[in-house]
Amino acid sequence: MLGGPGAEREVSLRSGAAVAAALRVLGHAVSERDPRTPDWDLPAESDVVFLALHGIYGEDGTVQRQLDDLGVAYTGCDAEASRLAFDKILTKGRCLAAGVPTAKFAAVRSAAEPIPAGFSVPLVVKPARQGSSVGLQFVERVEDWSAALAEALKFDSEVLAEEKIIGRETTVGILGGKVLPVVEVRPKAGSYDYTNKYTPGSTEYFCPADFDAATTQRIQAAALGAFHAVGGRDYARVDVMVRADGSPVVLEVNTLPGMTETSLLPKAAAAAGLNYAQLCQRMIDLAMERTAVATVKKQEKVAAATLIMVSHVV
């Protein structure tokens, strides 16, 4: 499934096209579905749905709930973990409860609200439920606050305001419950916003990132902690800022990260020895293995119930 109705549709179409091409090279029969409207269907006897959707509908738990209702296996996190991770404010709350380091934050719901008490510039403002840096704003001066807030509120009814972390920007892929090598992101100019993220040549990537072993472990531990805090499964990508003293600060959890061949999760997988096609296959295997385990448990439950019934008859 690729495309969808959200603001990240074009990115999702590119992710889905790359995944479909890789799966066909591996010999799979692949049928592409674009759930732009609610009347989509699936081919009969589908083994698994590979979710290459991003943003609203695809990443917020909606399509996951629909696939659960259909009893169809799909890649990635379940509906509840997707819902939690897609909401940056809920994710922050889960991280705090789990002791995962994250930036100081506040929820803002009106363009008329002042800068939250106890906060000072610079700040980062972003829609609570969007991805791919959609609506991301940086507030360097107090007088920029109102305009930044109004722009972010165009994309959601609730906005996350958080302290701007000064340091190195990294992301950590998680696959099958294990952390992948850290990727460092260095925009050549400005911040890692939507433009720098998707304009070829505007950002440099380093994987494995050049941190000492102890700092690398702290970054990976924070990422894995955030993944567990939202109830993640199979895979995700966690964005982490690293302060000058080497302390990590989790920004957010991406449950369906970009899957073009130049996206960050594939870069991390490549550094771990998995090429793009192998990464796609691993994602399918994780979903299929989970389905197989569920089937066995269901069979065991039916067998146990049958045994009880027989013993009662005897």
What are the catalytic residues?
8, 132, 198, 237, 239, 252, 254, 258
CB 122 within 8 Å of CB 138? yes
- Whether 248 and 98 have beta carbons less than 8 Å apart is answered as no
Q: How far is CA 143 from the centre of its chain?
A: 33
Whether residue 122 contacts residue 172, with contact meaning beta carbons closer than 8 Å, is answered with: no
> How many whole angstroms separate alpha carbon 12 and alpha carbon 131?
11
Tokens of 282: 């691993």
Query: Quick check: 256 and 54 in contact, CB under 8 A?
Result: yes
Q: Give strand ranges (E) for the chain.
A: 105-108, 123-127, 137-139, 159-163, 168-175, 178-187, 203-206, 235-242, 248-254
Residue 192 DSSP symbol = S
Q: Return the H-helix or E-strand segment holding 92.
A: helix 88-98
The CA distance from 144 to 164, in Å, is 14
201-207 long-range Cβ contacts below 8 angstroms, 24+ apart: 205/264, 205/267, 207/181, 207/182, 207/183, 207/267, 207/268, 207/270, 207/271
Question: What is the DSSP annotation of 148-161?
Answer: HHHHHTTS-SSEEE
Euclidean distance between CA atoms 230 and 95, whole angstroms: 8
